[in-house]
A and B are shown apart, each in its own frame.
Chain A
Amino acid sequence: MDEDDLLEAEATTDSDRRAELMLGALVCLVVALLLGMFAFVIYQAWPSFSHNGLSWFGGGGNVDSEIQAMFNSGASLARPVYAFHGWPLIWGSILLVGGAVTIAFVCSLFVAVFVVEFAPDPLRRVLEPVIRLLASVPSVIYGLVGVFVLVPFIGNHVISSGSKASVSGIITLNGYSLLAGVLILTVMIAPVMVAVFSDGLRAVPKGWIEASLGLGINKWRTVWKIGVRAARPTLIAGTVLATARALGEAVMVGMVCGVVSFAPNPVDGWIFFVEPTRPLAATIIAFIDDLSSPPMRHTLYAIAAVLLLSAALLSFGGWAAKQPMKRYGLRT
């Protein structure tokens, strides 16, 4: 090779190296942004945690009045009030997200099995695009359905006037309730789960299904024991995805769950299901206009930090749950 060729070879390697560095720098920027988010949010949240300690997560106070006190004190920075007991919010989130994900998981699994294996062809051809459409519908629209259809229905037909009277001193049962929230959240995350589960079921190698059928196992058990089992990593991924979305859903839940930060009490019996509540994310939205007052600000960021860390834990949990499956050859 003469000198010109060598220079050209160097130049191309140079441009490649430059490209790699630039792209790598961009990737580092994105990672740094994520880390920065963690850092900034926790930094802003810290005063609220440090003032309350672990009782931040405990109960015993009325969240709304605490927030009111914070707001009132915020104007005068002399004595900011940080007292906060977030248990009603956490409990509300647990109930809402837990309930919705449980119901949605069971239903979505059966629906996914139906769509992939047992639905007649014309029905399947219609269902698949519909599922994808429903999975991409904005959540406010589900919120509208909840507010216009579910809430009046629950308020007028499900709750008896006797129940309303019995708790009228403490809260109003008017249909904005835990039940409405769980139902509408289920309707929102179910299509997402069905879409992910169906993809997973379709990706199961056909050889396994054929082998099982060829051994004299009926189709239902084949799909259930072999197909669903082989798709377990996808089931986990879909559940983690849906739970994260349910946890972070602020606007829609705020529309149907009520304006009181109340912790529904199972001891109340059937009324438990129709008590209003306000989970973590919805609380942030409700008080978002008061960000200027420092104690409010720190408290809201503290709630956001709890949400962020929960999402991180969920992600990690999903990854950890998939690890044992690698041993037997499932593609995770």
Chain B
Amino acid sequence: MEFMKPPPIRRLTGSETVAPSHDRQPVAAPPNGHGAANGNGAATAFVGAQRRRVAASSLAIDRMQVEELSVAYGRKLAVDSVSLTIRQGEVLALIGPSGCGKTTLLRSLNRLTELNQDVTLKGRITLDEADIAKLDPTALRRRVTMVFQQPNPFPMSVFDNIAYVLREQAARRPKRGALRGAVRDALSRAGLLDELPDLDHPALKLSGGQQQRLCIARALAANPEVLLLDEPCSALDPQSTQVIEDLIVKLREDVAVVIVTHNLQQAYRVADCAGFMYLGELVEYGGATQLFRAPRQQRTKEYVRGEFG
């Protein structure tokens, strides 16, 4: 892994304004001295950590399609005419400064925005070519599950956390023995099985990283087609973050993964496809390597270089 260079000393020129530094995540290391210098001396290339794995998206299957989606809370427009595709076999990263609407976009993918009273939607989202607005929200959320920023395992044992999902979805109440296999399977997919002393361990006594992996295991137990992750590692230490990123990359063959993150390094590490959002608009959308290394839009360039956000 290449070392991250320290951020450059900001120099105010006439056209630039100093943006407040982001107080939640380390700012992505802007490049300095690498790559060809262009006219005004600032570098153009994004240098980040080594990518965990890159696969071409040629055999990815389209699962969800977002068509001209606009979401407004009351009068405030949170998402403005966004269109993108979510494919199985790919990890899609939504990046952007805070308040740009990426969480709202994520939550509208499984209709969690409906929990808010005064929300209005325009546009269309389809899952396997069916308009999700016409599906039953509960049925939709079984196929498109979500993991939240703060780990929120239920106040039960680890076994019960996962068995809860399995029991609720099964046609008839399955016996505990029958569930054991499925629970262990979900836990091993999340890489948690070996770390647990026993399955009856209270879930709230796990460490933060383990709790978040439990939440991912729980989401996987629902057998979803799309997995939504809302800044899953922002509350975790680097060790747990690494484990979860490996997990995400492993998962993408079975489920389509959409991850919202503040951390540009993380996005570069795990994403196949990336979308940069700013003030509700999808400024740029494309392959991850291209977006980070050779962004087409000026705003994207500035964000990726760490000039704001």
Contact = CB atoms under 8 A, between A and B. Distances in A.
Report if A and B touch in the complex (beta carbons < 8 A). Answer: yes
Interface in B123-151: 138-143, 145-148, 150
Given A327-B202, A328-B202, A329-B203, A214 B145 contact: yes
A216 B221 CA distance: 11
A208 B215 CA distance: 11
Contacts of A221: 168
Given A216-B138, A225-B164, A226-B154, A211 B148 contact: yes
Contact of B138 (A217, A225, A226): A217
A130 B31 CA distance: 64
A215 B165 contact: yes
Contact of A329 (B150, B164, B204): B204
B182 interface: no
B204 A214 contact: no
Nearest to B145: A215
B219 interface: yes
B204 A210 contact: no
Contacts, number: 75
A213 interface: yes
Contact of A211 (B110, B139, B152): B152
Contact of A328 (B112, B115, B140, B157): B157
B160 to A, nearest CB: 9
A328 to B, nearest CB: 5
B205 interface: yes
A329 B202 contact: yes
> Which has the most chain A C-beta neighbours within 10 Å: B138, B140, B165?
B138
Given A207-B148, A328-B204, A213 B141 contact: yes
Contact of A214 (B141, B150, B154): B141
B219 A328 contact: no
Contact of B218 (A213, A215, A329): A215
A205 B152 contact: yes
Nearest to A121: B117
B202 A218 contact: no
A213 B143 CA distance: 12
Contacts of B224: 216
B238 interface: no
A210 B112 contact: yes
Contacts of B115: 210, 213
A328 B159 CA distance: 12
B54 interface: no
A330 to B, nearest CB: 5
Interface string B44-56: 0000000000000
A111 interface: no
Nearest to A221: B168
A328 B138 contact: no
A69 B60 CA distance: 94
A187 B142 CA distance: 41
A196 to B, nearest CB: 20
A296 interface: no
A230 B138 CA distance: 22
Contacts of B142: 215-216
A212 B219 CA distance: 10
Contacts of A217: 138, 165, 168
A330 B155 contact: yes
B222 interface: yes
Given A210-B152, A230-B155, A329-B205, A216 B164 contact: no
B196 interface: no
A210 B107 CA distance: 11
A214 B227 CA distance: 10
A323 B136 CA distance: 40
Given A214-B110, A215-B165, A328 B218 contact: no
Nearest to A225: B164
B132 to A, nearest CB: 13
A216 B152 contact: no
A215 B148 CA distance: 11
A120 to B, nearest CB: 11
A328 B115 CA distance: 28
29 contacts: A205-B152, A208-B152, A208-B154, A208-B155, A210-B152, A211-B153, A211-B215, A211-B218, A212-B164, A213-B112, A214-B112, A215-B222, A216-B140, A216-B141, A216-B142, A216-B224, A225-B168, A226-B154, A229-B155, A327-B202, A328-B156, A328-B157, A328-B203, A328-B204, A329-B155, A329-B202, A329-B204, A329-B205, A330-B155
For the complex of A and B, list the 6 residue pairs with the smallest distance between their C-beta atoms, beginning with the closest. A216-B142, A329-B204, A207-B152, A214-B146, A216-B141, A329-B155
Interface of B: 110, 112, 115, 138-143, 145-148, 150, 152-157, 164-165, 168-169, 202-205, 215, 218-219, 222, 224
Given A210-B148, A216-B138, A216-B140, 7 more contacts: A207-B152, A211-B153, A212-B164, A214-B147, A216-B142, A217-B165, A329-B155
